[in-house]
C-alpha cells in the first residue's frame, strides 16, 4: 500500500453520552497508543448549571493534545504494511457543535455511535445531516448492548427513518442487557461471545451457525432466535456492498459495548478494510486529487493557547495532496505571501511531536500567531481556494457592545480574531450597524466574554435580540431580491464575507417571506 492508500482519516461522532470517548479510547488501546483504559481524559465539559469557564479552559488543554490521534494498525491475521489511522477528535459539548461540523469537512468517513437504549438523538440527526451534505460514508456502532436496550430491528428501522440512510447490519446481537450473550459477526461469519471485561480483547469462536455447535455456546433459545433473526436480515436488508457504503448510500451497522471492549475490535478491523482512503477535495477553481505531486491543504480548526501569556494558537491543516515537508516555503493564498513552518506538530494520544513530513489525509498542527483563519488554503504557489467549510444558521443571537470606550481598539481586534478562529458567527445589522453574535449554545457567549477580557483586555456587554434564524438569501431575479432587501431592511445583515443574510424573528415571518417572494431561495447554511 502506498502512503495515501493506507490512510484512514475519520471522526467518531455521537450525541453526548452515547460513548464516543469510550470508543475512541478503546481504538487507541488496539492501536497500541495507550496501555490501559482510562488513560485518555474525557475532553467533555460537564453540563453543570453554572458552567465555569475556567474549567473549560483547563479542559481545553486536554482537547488540544487530543485533537488528532494517529496510530498504525494491522488487523490480526493480515500481513503487510499497516493502516495509518487518523482519528479527529470533536468536542463533547453540544454548545461547540459548530467545531464538530467543521471537523467533519476534514474527514474521509465517520463512525456514528448510538446509545442502544436511547436510539437516534437530536445531535445524531444534525451530525448525519452534515455527513449527508458532503456525502461522507458512515458506519454506525450501536453501543451499550450490555444494558437493557431496544429491539435491534426497531433500532435499525429508526436509523433508516431518522437518519435517512439504508442500513446493512454487519454484526447481530444475541440477547441484550442482562441476557446479552454476544454478537454474530456477519462480516467475518464468526461468533463473538461476551464476557464483561473492560480491558482485554474478547475471544472469537468460529461456529457454523447451522450446526448444533451454536446451541452449545448460546443455548437453545439464543440459537433459535439468532437463526430466525439472520434469516430475516437476509430477507430484508441488502448484502453489504462496499461501493454503496463508500458513496454514502448505505451504512453498515455494528453492535457492541465500548465500555466492555466488546465488538470494538471487529468494528476497527472492518473499518480499516472498507473505509475510504483520502479522496478528491473540491476547490473553487478545480478538483484536487491526493496523488498530485504538489502539496495543498486547508485550515479547518484553530485552537487557542490556554496560556494567556502566549497568544499563539495552533492551526490544524488537513493535507489534501502532495507531501508536506517541514521548513518548506508554502503559499498562503489569502495573504498572498510565503510562509514556512519550522516546528509543525503531529499528535499522538498523549503527546505532540515535531513532524518532518506528512501525507494526504494527515493533519499537521501549525503554530499560528494570527496569520490563519478557518478555511485558509496553503499550496506550493497555485491560487486555490478549498470549498466546503459551511456556516450553519446559529440558534442563539445577541448584540455585542463594547463596555469600555477606552479599549475600543482591543475590543474590535479581539472580536475579529475570535471570529477568525471560528468561536462564533458575526453579523452586522444593515439597519442599525450593530454587531450581532450568533452561536449554537450559551457557553459560546461566555467563552467570548472571558477571552475578550483575558486575552485582549477588553470588556463586552450582551444586549438581547429576538431572532429565530439566519438565512443566506439568493435569487436569479435581481429586482425581486432588491425589493426584498428594501422591504425587510430592518432584518437584513451582512456576514463576515459580505453576504446578504436575512435575520428572521420567527418561523411565521420566514414562512411569509418564502410565500411572498417566490424566487428568493432561503438557505440555512452558507454553502449552497
Is 329 annotated in a binding site? The answer is no
Cβ distance to ligand GDP smaller for residue 89 or 376: 89
Which residue among 4, 5, 16, 280 contacts ligand GDP (CB under 6 A)?
Answer: 16
Cβ distance to ligand GDP smaller for residue 194 or 359: 194
Locate 475 and state its grid cell. 435569487
Sign, CA torsion 148/150/156/158: negative
Is 93 annotated in a binding site? The answer is yes
d(CA 93, CA 60): 12
Beta bridge partners of 172: 184
Residues in the chain: 528
Cβ distance to ligand GDP smaller for residue 122 or 478: 122
Residue with cell 429586482: 479
**Cβ neighbours of 51 (radius 10 Å):** 17
Locate 33 and state its grid cell. 497508543
Which residue among 257, 402, 410, 526 contacts ligand GDP (CB under 6 A)?
Answer: 257
Cβ distance to ligand GDP smaller for residue 128 or 520: 128
Task: Provide the minimum distance between the beta carbon of 259 and ligand GDP in the complex, in angstroms, as a whole number.
Answer: 3
Q: Write the CA distances from 420 to 302, 373, 438, 445, 528, integer angstroms.
A: 9, 5, 14, 16, 21
> Which 68-107 residues touch ligand GDP, going by CB under 6 A?
92
d(CA 28, CA 502): 45
62 binds ligand GDP (CB under 6 A): no
Residue with cell 471522526: 11
Is 525 annotated in a binding site? The answer is no
Cβ distance to ligand GDP smaller for residue 95 or 421: 95
429 binds ligand GDP (CB under 6 A): no
Locate 24 and state its grid cell. 475512541
14 binds ligand GDP (CB under 6 A): yes
Which residue among 8, 19, 299, 393 contacts ligand GDP (CB under 6 A)?
Answer: 19
Q: What is the contact mask toward ligand GDP in residues 141 to 160, using x (rule: CB under 6 A)?
A: --xx-xx-------------
Backbone angles phi, psi at 330, to 5 degrees: -120, 155
37 binds ligand GDP (CB under 6 A): no
Cβ distance to ligand GDP smaller for residue 63 or 257: 257
Interface segment toward ligand GDP; rule CB under 6 A; list 10-18, 415-423, 428-436, 455-463: 10-18
Q: Write the CA distances from 191 to 25, 86, 264, integer angstroms.
A: 24, 29, 14
Interface segment toward ligand GDP; rule CB under 6 A; list 207-215, 251-259, 297-305, 404-412: 251-259
Locate 430 and state its grid cell. 444593515
Is 145 annotated in a binding site? The answer is yes
d(CA 365, CA 329): 16
526 binds ligand GDP (CB under 6 A): no
Task: Provide the minimum distance between the beta carbon of 23 and ligand GDP in the complex, in angstroms, as a whole number.
Answer: 7
Residue with cell 480548526: 301
Is 454 annotated in a binding site? The answer is no
Cβ distance to ligand GDP smaller for residue 126 or 311: 126
Sign, CA torsion 86/92/94/98: negative
121 binds ligand GDP (CB under 6 A): no
d(CA 521, CA 178): 52
Cβ distance to ligand GDP smaller for residue 31 or 360: 31
Q: Are 120 and 114 in contact (CB under 8 A)?
A: yes
Interface segment toward ligand GDP; rule CB under 6 A; list 11-19, 175-183, 218-226, 408-416: 11-19
Locate 345 and state its grid cell. 506538530
d(CA 38, CA 18): 17
Task: Provide the minimum distance between the beta carbon of 116 and ligand GDP in the complex, in angstroms, as a whole number.
Answer: 8
Is 173 annotated in a binding site? The answer is no
- C-alpha 259: how far from chain center: 22
Helix (H, G, I), strand (E, B) or coil at 417: helix
Which residue among 8, 20, 60, 407 contacts ligand GDP (CB under 6 A)?
Answer: 20
Q: Are 48 and 28 in contact (CB under 8 A)?
A: no
Give the per-residue SS3 of 12-30.
Answer: EEECCCCCHHHHHHHHHHH
60 binds ligand GDP (CB under 6 A): no
Which residue among 3, 7, 8, 21 contacts ligand GDP (CB under 6 A)?
Answer: 21
d(CA 344, CA 358): 10
Interface segment toward ligand GDP; rule CB under 6 A; list 18-26, 121-129, 242-250, 411-419: 18-26
Q: What residues line the site for ligand GDP (CB under 6 A)?
A: 14, 16-22, 42, 44, 92, 143-144, 146-147, 257-260
Would you list which residues are annotated within the binding site for GTP?
14-21, 89-93, 143-146
Would you list which residues are annotated within the binding site?
14-21, 89-93, 143-146
Amino acid at each position: 500500500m502506498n502512503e495515501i492508500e493506507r490512510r484512514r482519516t475519520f471522526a467518531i461522532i455521537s450525541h453526548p453520552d452515547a460513548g464516543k470517548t469510550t470508543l475512541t479510547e478503546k481504538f487507541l488501546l488496539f492501536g497500541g497508543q495507550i496501555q490501559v483504559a482510562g488513560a485518555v481524559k474525557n475532553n467533555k465539559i460537564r453540563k453543570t448549571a453554572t458552567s465555569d469557564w475556567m474549567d473549560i479552559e483547563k479542559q481545553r488543554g486536554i482537547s488540544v493534545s487530543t485533537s488528532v490521534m494517529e496510530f498504525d494498525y494491522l488487523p490480526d491475521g493480515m500481513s503487510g504494511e499497516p493502516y495509518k489511522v487518523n482519528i479527529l477528535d470533536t468536542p463533547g459539548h453540544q454548545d461547540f457543535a459548530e467545531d464538530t461540523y467543521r471537523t467533519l469537512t476534514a474527514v474521509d468517513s465517520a463512525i456514528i455511535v448510538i446509545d442502544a437504549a436511547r436510539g437516534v438523538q437530536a445531535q445524531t440527526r444534525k451530525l448525519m445531516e452534515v455527513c449527508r451534505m458532503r456525502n461522507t460514508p458512515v458506519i454506525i456502532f450501536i453501543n451499550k448492548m450490555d444494558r437493557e436496550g431496544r429491539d435491534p430491528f426497531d433500532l435499525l428501522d429508526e436509523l433508516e427513518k431518522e437518519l435517512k440512510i439504508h442500513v446493512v447490519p454487519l454484526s447481530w446481537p444475541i440477547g441484550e442487557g442482562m441476557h446479552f450473550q454476544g454478537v454474530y459477526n456477519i462480516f467475518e461469519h464468526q461468533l463473538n461471545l461476551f464476557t464483561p471485561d473492560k480491558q482485554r480483547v474478547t475471544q472469537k469462536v468460529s461456529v457454523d451457525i447451522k450446526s448444533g455447535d451454536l446451541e452449545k455456546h448460546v443455548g437453545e433459545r439464543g440459537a433459535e432466535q439468532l437463526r430466525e433473526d439472520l434469516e430475516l436480515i437476509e430477507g430484508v436488508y441488502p448484502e453489504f456492498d462496499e461501493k454503496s457504503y463508500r458513496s454514502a448510500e448505505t451504512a453498515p451497522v455494528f453492535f457492541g459495548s465500548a465500555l466492555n471492549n466488546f465488538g470494538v475490535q471487529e468494528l476497527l478491523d472492518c473499518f480499516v478494510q472498507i473505509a475510504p482512503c483520502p479522496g478528491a477535495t473540491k476547490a473553487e477553481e478545480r478538483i484536487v486529487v491526493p496523488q498530485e505531486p504538489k502539496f495543498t491543504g486547508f485550515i479547518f480548526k484553530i485552537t487557542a493557547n490556554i496560556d494567556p501569556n502566549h497568544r499563539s494558537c495552533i492551526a490544524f491543516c488537513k493535507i489534501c495532496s502532495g507531501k508536506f515537508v517541514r521548513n518548506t516555503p508554502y503559499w498562503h493564498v489569502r495573504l498572498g505571501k510565503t510562509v514556512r513552518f519550522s516546528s509543525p506538530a503531529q499528535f499522538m494520544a498523549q503527546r505532540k511531536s515535531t513532524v518532518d513530513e506528512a501525507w494526504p489525509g494527515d493533519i499537521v498542527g501549525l503554530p499560528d500567531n494570527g496569520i490563519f483563519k478557518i478555511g485558509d488554503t496553503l499550496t506550493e504557489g497555485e491560487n486555490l481556494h478549498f470549498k466546503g467549510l459551511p456556516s450553519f444558521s446559529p440558534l442563539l443571537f445577541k448584540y455585542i457592545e463594547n463596555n469600555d470606550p477606552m479599549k475600543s481598539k482591543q475590543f474590535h481586534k479581539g472580536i475579529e480574531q475570535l471570529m477568525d478562529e471560528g468561536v462564533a458567527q458575526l453579523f452586522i445589522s444593515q439597519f442599525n450597524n450593530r454587531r450581532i453574535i450568533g452561536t449554537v449554545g450559551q457557553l459560546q457567549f461566555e467563552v467570548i466574554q472571558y477571552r475578550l477580557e483575558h486575552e485582549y483586555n477588553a470588556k463586552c456587554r450582551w444586549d438581547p435580540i429576538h431572532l429565530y434564524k439566519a438565512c443566506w438569501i439568493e435569487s436569479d431575479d435581481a429586482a425581486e431580491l432588491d425589493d426584498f432587501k428594501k422591504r425587510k431592511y430592518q432584518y437584513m445583515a451582512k456576514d463576515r464575507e459580505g453576504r446578504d443574510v436575512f435575520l428572521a424573528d420567527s418561523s411565521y415571518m420566514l414562512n411569509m417571506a418564502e410565500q411572498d417572494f417566490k424566487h428568493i431561495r432561503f438557505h440555512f447554511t452558507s454553502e449552497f
